[in-house]
Amino acid sequence: MGLKSFSPRKKEVFSSYLDDKSVILNASQNSYFSVEGVGEELWRLICEGADYPALVEWVRENYEVPQEIAEQDVSEFLTQLKSEGLIECEE
C-alpha cells in the first residue's frame, strides 16, 4: 500500500449515514456517492481516524478473509476514494 496516511477532505467532502449506507458529497466536484456494506463501514472508520492497518484488521476479522485479501480490498477502496477526490493522501 503506497498511502501512508489519509483522511476525508474536510472542507469539500460531507457525509451522512442513512440506514445501512453512507451518502458522500464532494462539494468541489458537485458529485455524490453512496456506499453500502463494507464500504459504508470503512468510510465510517476513515472518518473516525482509522489508519490502513486498522481498516485491514477490521475487514479480516469481520469477513474472515486472509490478510492478503483484506489488504487488497482496502487498497482498492482507498484508491477509488482518492480517484474521486474524497480523501487526502500522503504517499
Residues listed for the chain:
91
pLDDT at 6: 79
User: Is residue 24 within 8 Å of 14, Cβ to Cβ?
Assistant: yes
By three-state DSSP, how is residue 52 classified?
A: helix
What average pLDDT does the segment 49-68 reach?
95
pLDDT digit string, tens, across residues 79-88: 999 988 898 8
Residue carrying C-alpha cell 445501512: 20
CA atoms within 13 A on the CB side of 40: 12
Q: Which residues fall within 8 angstroms of residue 50, CB to CB, at 6 or more apart? A: 58
Q: Which residues pair with 33 in a beta bridge?
A: 24
pTM for the model stands at 0.85
